[in-house]
Amino acid sequence: GIGVPAQFPAIACKEGRTTGQTCGLVYGDVFSTATWTLTQICVLVGDSGGPVVVGTTLVALVNGYVSVPCLGPHVGVNFTRILDDVAMRGGAGVGFRPV
């Protein structure tokens, strides 16, 4: 399913085209944006858009890293925020529910 943004000290994992599956500690929304979650997941160019999960729950999509590739921290876009944006725009994807 889809879950709320991950919080410290959860462990999140992502699947990326470049680095495959990597996992790391969740720091959470350290900038209080309600949009971004920071983690210590290894991310490189080409991983963007990959799913970030806690267990089997989708919580974010890979966006990038703050300073050093694979050393992080990684920045993910909270999936609930993406769904809110889709609903606000009223276009394709409104009412999306996972199967």
Encode pLDDT of 33-68 as tens digits: 999 999 999 999 999 999 999 999 999 999 999 989
Q: Is residue 50 part of a domain?
A: yes
The CATH number linked to 30 is 2.40.10.10
As a whole number, mean pLDDT of residues 72-90 equals 92
User: Is the pLDDT reported for residue 13 higher than 90?
Assistant: yes
Q: Is residue 76 part of a domain?
A: yes
Q: Which residues contact 55 (CB under 8 A, 6 or more apart)?
A: none
Which among 43, 19, 38 has a CA at the least distance from the CA of 28? 38
User: Residue 46: its pLDDT value, please?
Assistant: 96
User: Residue 95: its pLDDT value, please?
Assistant: 84
Domain residues for the domain of 53 are 11-89
Q: Is residue 96 part of a domain?
A: no
Q: Is residue 98 part of a domain?
A: no
- The C-alpha atoms of residue 72 and residue 79 are separated, in whole angstroms, by 20
Q: Is residue 73 part of a domain?
A: yes
Domain tally for the chain? 1
Q: Is residue 95 part of a domain?
A: no
Tokens representing 96?
A: 């999306």
Q: Is residue 97 part of a domain?
A: no
Q: Is residue 94 part of a domain?
A: no
